[in-house]
Amino acid sequence: MTDPAPGSARPYGGPYHRAAAAACARAVGIVVALVVAYYLVPLDTRSTTGTVLLLVCGLLAVLLVFGWEARMILRSPHPRLKAVEALAATVALYLVVFASLYHVLEHDAPGSFTEPLTRTDALYFTLTTFTTVGFGDITARSEASRVAVMCQMVCGLLLVGVAVRLLAAVVDAGLRRRGRGP
């Protein structure tokens, strides 16, 4: 079964609804797995080189996951559903990368932020920065932490702007490939 045409109805519980439920379950599973991994992976690096390497490798991983997911959207019988999974995986990985960076940065150079960052605090700060809420309860103090936060801001804009646009284009291409049009 393929994605329903806009405006058409599918019987509840049909193949498309089962595929949609499976896609949502996979998206939630990916997010949960990434957050669990974030809390379990040792982040006790004590070098500037290691911190920079964490950021570079993390961002490279985000790009690789995004590219792989784009390919999967093109091949999927349900491109729109696969795009939801792709966005969940990419955004969750992006947030975990920056939360890990902030946790390591605070561990390497205490006082980089206005308060010590536990893993939960680092994830909270990352999410408030990504969503542009920025409550101001935690702020970057050191030059290195400010550079990391600026990098997150720029990458967040790219993720929201460019990545979402690219996902939409890939979904359209996947639908056209199946002869259904965008």
DSSP 23-54: HHHHHHHHHHHHHHHHHHS------HHHHHHH
| Whole-number Å distance between alpha carbons of 167 and 79 | 10
- Residue 10 located in a structural domain: no
Instruction: Answer whether residue 57 is part of any domain.
Output: yes
At 156, the pLDDT band (50, 70, 90 cuts) reads very high
The reported pTM is 0.84
Report whether pLDDT(95) > 90: yes
Q: What percent of the chain has pLDDT over 70?
A: 90
| Residue 2 confidence class, pLDDT cut points 50, 70, 90 | low
Domain count along the chain:
1
* Owning domain of residue 152: 15-177
For the ranges 20-24, 47-51, 121-125, the lowest mean pLDDT is seen at: 47-51
Cα–Cα distance between 157 and 166 in angstroms, integer?
Answer: 14
> Residue 152: inside a domain, yes or no?
yes
Q: Is residue 69 part of a domain?
A: yes
In a domain, 8, yes or no: no
Does residue 156 form part of some domain?
A: yes
pLDDT tens digit string along 26-67? 999 999 999 999 999 988 766 778 788 888 999 999 999 999
Residue 6, in any domain of the structure = no
Residue 62 lies in a domain: yes
